[in-house]
Every structure is written in structure tokens, then in C-alpha cells.
Amino acid sequence: MKRILVTGANGQLGSEIKELAGNYPNFEFIFTDIADFPLDKEQEITSNFKAIQPDIVINCAAYTAVDKAETDSVVADAINHLAIATLATLCHDSGAKLVHVSTDYVFDGTSPVAYKEDDQPNPKSVYGVTKLAGEIACLKNCPESIIIRTAWVYSEFGNNFVKTMLRLMSERDSLNVVNDQVGSPTYAADLAQVILTILDSNKWEPGIYHYSNEGEISWFDFAVAIKENAQKSCIVRGIPASNYPTPAERPAYSLLDKSKIKTVYGIEPIDYSVSLKIMMKRLGSE
């Protein structure tokens, strides 16, 4: 039986992997989070890894407070970069497989077409810089790793855009939402299923992959879809990002080309609108 160490197990993606774990009796899952597997402490990473002796590591943990990272760069780098370098070395030295989750923020958002895995990264935020450094360290220290870049992650677990919109739509008569940043949302449950499908396939093709749900929309479009699904009366207005300045610069265009993961692993991403309905139905039934 393969032993799988999941870091960041209480986050959106880790929580969705927990939900699916029972469907994979051939795997033994060890779920850890910051309390028992802190990624900002190198010695603890090493000692915990050696105690668990995993066959596979799914690294869902990350410093994801994008704006806060602009002034908290040391901690962001420790978690998103240095910890990954350590994990990758430990995996390589022990023969364990590593799946590391990364982000569309490694790109600058100026491409006119969906980003492919080998397109030149050019992050514009501290978060993006530290995540790219983590990717580089991962592939340097453990070339046999799989990295999955994703974008706009949401789930019924944790804090995210969908849950924030639902709360604000219940509190306000109108909302302004950025309409000139384009991408595709990712339901964490779908990404969790993709990762477990890869691990269960007995086919290990190292490298970088892109995954999100299908669709090309703005945050405004996403908010409107949320409003319609929840049947809210709140008025949603589109505004340019320049009217909503944030400490960290967001990519204006971060659509990910998923051709590679479709071809190599036969993954067929679901349209964002379908997954959003599933998530909101699950959220409403809790």
C-alpha cells in the first residue's frame, strides 16, 4: 500500500482530497497541516518527513495571502520556495514521488492566448516570485516531480471568491467587481480528483502541467454566475482593475492551456459553470 503525505490538508485542495480519500483504499493517506508539518521550519520538515516515510507527497500547502506577501516576503519565500526545495530533496533522496501545486501568478498576464507550460514566466508579485522560485527548486532538486499550475481556486472549504461573493450579495444591494482580469476558475474538488487520478494511473510523466476548469471569463462574469446560481437580487457592476488598486499586481490574463494534461493523462476538465453549480449545491446542503 502506497503511503501518501498530504501537506496543507486543512486548506481548500487538501480538504477536497480528504473527501475523496475513501475512494482509494489502495492508498494510505497521512494528512498534515501547519500545526504538525510547518513548512516554515526546515528542520521540522526533515524530521517529520523521515518519521512518516511517504511513498508520495502531495504538496497543497502554500502562502496564498497574495497582498500580504508584498510586505511579508520572508515568510512567503520560506513556505513557497525554501520549503519546496527541502521537500524535493527529501523526495529525490528517498525515491518518493512529489506532486507540487503552483499557480498562474508565475505569468505576467500579458499573453494574448492561453499560457502553455513552457511559456516564459514573469511574475509581477511577491507571491508569484516565490511560487516560481518553488517550481525551479522543485525541478532542480527532484527532476522527476510533477508540478500542476492552477488558477482561481474555490471550494466549499476555506475562504475564496465564491463564498465572499455570496456573503457580500447577502449584505449589500450592489457590488463592483473587476471585469478586465480574465481566466478560468478551478473547483478544488475537480483538481483533487485530477491529482488522485494521476496517482492511481500507474503512469508517471514528470514535468509541469496546467489545470483549471474550462471557460474564459472575468471576475465580473464569475460574480454574475454566482449571483444567478444563488438567485440573489444584488446588482453586480463591472469595473476596471485600475479602480480597485491592490498591493499586489494581478495578471490581467491568466488562462491556462490544458492540452498537455489532456493528452498525457486523458483528463477532461469540466466547464466552470457545471462545477460552480455542484459546489454551490454542496455548500447549500451543509
Please tell me the distance from the alpha carbon of residue 205 to that of residue 92, in angstroms, as a whole number. 15
Residues 127, 187, 211, 253: which is the catalytic one? 127
Q: Catalytic: 127?
A: yes
The grid coordinates listed for 94 are 528517498
- How wide is the angle at C-alpha 43 spanned by C-alphas 41 and 46, nearest 5°? 110
Q: What is the 3-state secondary structure (H, E, C) of 196-243?
A: HHHHHCCCCCCEEEECCCECCEEHHHHHHHHHHHHCCCCEEEEECHHH
CA dist., res. 152 & res. 161, Å (int): 8
Q: How would you classify the pairing of strands 174-178 and 2-7? A: unpaired
How far apart CA 137 and CA 88 sit, in angstroms, is 8
Residue 84 grid coordinates: 519546496
Residues marked active site are found at 127
